[in-house]
Amino acid sequence: MIKAVEHNVEEWFNVLLEVNDVSFVMHNVECRLGKSLFNTKLWKLYISFLEEHGEYGRLMGISDLYCRFFMDDKEMKEKHKEGMTKY
């Protein structure tokens, strides 16, 4: 099933979520991010996932990396700044 939807990031991510294993999702998403660093949709899906699952330490690290890669994304920079204060 995962191979059938790997061309569509959102569908692929949703299939990963079906496993219901936070660690599995994190490892697979980070592996895919390593192969396609400029896929902002995947970054944002992953950042939301980490926040929803209370993975705040990893969230701050990933959010920081995102802001370094995409310096023009002022909205995410502001979210990262708020997260640093909050978490």
Rounded Cα gap, residues 59 and 50, in angstroms: 6
Per-residue model confidence (pLDDT) at position 7 = 86
Domains of the chain: 3-86 (1.25.40)
The answer to whether the CB of 24 falls within 8 A of the CB of 16 is yes
Per-residue model confidence (pLDDT) at position 6 = 85
What stretches in the chain show pLDDT beneath 70?
A: 1
pTM as predicted: 0.91
Per-residue model confidence (pLDDT) at position 1 = 65
- Output the CA–CA distances (angstroms, integers) from residue 84 to 31, 33, 79, in the order listed: 25, 22, 9
